[in-house]
Structure 1
Amino acid sequence: MPSRDWRLRIQDIVESITEIEQCTSNVSFEEFEKNQTLVKAVLYDFVVIGEAIRSVPHEIQLRYPLIPWRLMGGMRNVVTHEYFQVNLSRVWATIQEDLPSLVPHLLEVLENEGLGE
């Protein structure tokens, strides 16, 4: 049994996305790529996101098909287990193109499913 309610894990995901967006908002890809501290911080947040996904019940994931649950978990697996294959261009594209649209969907889950039920 997870040590924390899955809804709190969704909040962790939202917080990690916010951290990634704040850390990279005024940075070019070239600056990002050269800053190993920033790269590692961002990759850590992707690991948190992927780890938190594992606590979201399958039936909840099925209810919200617009959230790419499997892909989010997959990114964590690459960062954690195949770190030597991390493609920073793909990470950057995910930050720029995919993360911003996720937050409203995740907040919808929290709103619809309630916290602490």
Structure 2
Amino acid sequence: MQRNSSAYLNDILEAASAIQDATAGIDESTYSATRLIRSSVEREFIIIGEALKVIAQRDPQLFAAIPEGRQIIDFRNLLAHEYLKVSDRVVLGAIQTDLPVLVQLATS
């Protein structure tokens, strides 16, 4: 049975929550020095990007309501395929700035 868009939105919310839990109370130097945290955060962002990719294909109207949807998918591709170009500062910026907006959109 094919999953519906709300299931993918739930995946996004769960991944966002995992990112927030993994990075709560840590600073940039701790983030950069802790491979396990970086790996888990990047994996959760990959899940978010993949869920948005599926939503884009199956529910274009919903995807259109996510202003940064295409950039999030591109970010997922960067994390998965061009890992040498990943900047910890960019990832942390996405956590602090973009993730709360995405969570708000996914819950509305």
The TM-score normalised by the length of structure 2 is 0.90
Q: Report what 1:91 is aligned to.
A: 91
Cα distance, 1:95 vs structure 2: 0.6
Higher relative helix content: 2
> Residues 77-105 of structure 1: CA distance to partner in whole angstroms, max 9, x if unpaired?
00011111111110011111111122121
> Residues 61-80 of structure 1: CA distance to partner in whole angstroms, max 9, x if unpaired?
12x14x31101101100001
**Structure 1: runs of 5+ lacking an equivalent:** 109-117
Moved >6 Å (runs of 4+): none
Q: If you compute each CA radius of gyration, which structure gives the higher value, 1 or 2?
A: 1
Count residues in correspondence. Answer: 105
Identity score, percent: 26
Q: What secondary structure is seen at the aligned counterpart in 2 of 1:84?
A: helix
Q: Report what 1:59 is aligned to.
A: 61
The TM-score normalised by the length of structure 1 is 0.84
Q: What secondary structure is seen at the aligned counterpart in 1 of 2:46?
A: helix
Q: Report what 1:45 is aligned to.
A: 44
Distance (whole Å) between structure 2 residues aligned to residue 55 and residue 6 of structure 1: 8
Q: Report what 2:68 is aligned to.
A: 68
Q: Report what 1:16 is aligned to.
A: 15
The letter for the 2-side match of 1:14 is L
**Structure 2: runs of 5+ lacking an equivalent:** none
> Residues 17-56 of structure 1: CA distance to partner in whole angstroms, max 9, x if unpaired?
1110111011011000000010000000000000000111
Give the RMSD, CA atoms, in angstroms.
1.4
